[in-house]
Amino acid sequence: MTAPAGPRVHKHLLPGIDPRILALRVPDEVDGFVVRTERFVALVDTLGTPELCEQALELIADETAGRPLLVINTHADWDHVWGNAAVEGRAPVIGHRSATARVRSAGAQDTLRTKRAADDRFAGVRLIAPTVTFDTPLTLDGGDLTLELLHTPGHTPDHIAVWIPELRVCLAGDAAEDPLPELWEADAASLKQLTASLDLLRSLAPDHVLPSHGGTTDPALLDRNLSYFASLLTGRHADAVREGSLSFEAVFPDSTELSAGARAFYETCHDKAVRAAAATLGATAEQRQAAGLPG
C-alpha cells in the first residue's frame, strides 16, 4: 500500500527524558508531545491537519489503551491546532480562554484560505476551538504526574506552557525556540510579555526544556533566549538597535547550519524583535517606568 502523500508524523523517545513523554515530530514543521500518566494520556498539540493528528493517534494507540485522552492546545497557531477536528467529540480540548477568539477570528479564516490555495493537504481542516478553557493556572492531576498549565504570553496572547514538576520537564511550546522565539507584535508590550514568560519558565529551574521547534531538550535554551533579548535592550547590541543597523548575522554568526526556509523565518523573527527593542528604547524614562519596562 502506498503511503499517503504529504508530511508524516514520527514518534520519538527523547534521550535522557522519562519514557512517559514522547515527541510526535513532523519534520521541518512542528513537534507535538504525549504525556502518559496513570489517569490519562495528554496529547499536547494536534499538529497542522486532521490527517496528521490521526497519524499521531495511531502511533500512540498503545499509550491510550485503557486511559482517557486529553488534548492540550499550547496556542492557536495553525501548526499546533489545525488537527483539532480529528479529536472532536473524542476528547476534551484544553486551551487558554483567549485561544477561542483566535481560532474563530477573521485572521484565522484568512490564513486557512491562503494555505488551502497553496496546498490541498489543508482541504480537510476545520477550525475547532478548545472545549475547556481557563485564564488562571490550571493543574491536571494524573496520579503519578502533574501537568501545570501556565499562561505564557508574548509569542501569542493565548500561549501556554506545560510544567511537569515530578520530572522537572517544561514543554515550552513556542515561548522558547532555537535560536529565538517570535514575538506576537513588533512592539514593547510583546517584548515585555515574552521576556516575563521566559523568566517564569526559568524560575521553575527545569532539568529539561522541550520546545515545539528546534528538537532540543537543553534547559539553557531559556537563558539563551533571555540573553538575546537583553542584548537588544541593555547589552552589546543596544546601540545598533537604536541605529537600526543590527543584522541577523551579527547576532547569530553560526546560523549557517539553518535551512534556507528556517533562516528566512528567523530573520523575520529577529527583525520583529529589533523593532520591538527599538520601540522600548525609544520610550521616555517615564513611559518605561509606567509600563514596567527595562531602563
pLDDT per position as a tens digit, 247-272:
999 999 988 788 999 999 999 999 99
Q: What are phi and psi of 251, to 5 degrees?
A: -95, -35
95-149 pLDDT, tens digit per residue, is 999 999 999 999 999 999 999 999 999 999 999 999 999 999 999 999 999 999 9
Q: What are phi and psi of 134, to 5 degrees?
A: -150, 160
Nearest to 186 by CA among 75, 278, 78, 294: 278
Q: What is the pLDDT of residue 65?
A: 86
Q: What is the pLDDT of residue 289?
A: 53
Fill in the amino acid letter for 289.
Answer: Q
Residue ranges of the alpha helices (H) in the chain?
50-59, 61-64, 78-81, 97-103, 106-118, 188-203, 220-233, 238-243, 248-251, 260-282, 285-291
CB within 8 A of 293, min separation 6: which ones?
188, 192, 280, 283, 287
**Helices 260-282 and 188-203 meet at what angle, rounded to 10?**
110
Q: What is the value of pTM for the model shown? A: 0.93
Fill in the amino acid letter for 141.
Answer: D
- Numbered ranges of CATH 3.60.15.10 in the chain: 1-151
Instruction: Specify whether domain 1-151 bears CATH 3.30.70.1290.
Output: no
Nearest to 20 by CA among 1, 38, 45, 47: 38
User: What is the Cα–Cα distance from 209 to 224, expressed in whole angstroms?
Assistant: 12
Count of residues in the chain: 295
Q: What is the pLDDT of residue 276?
A: 97
169-190 pLDDT, tens digit per residue, is 999 999 999 999 999 999 999 9
Kindly state the cell numbers that stand for 38. 496513570
Nearest to 158 by CA among 126, 200, 193, 209: 193
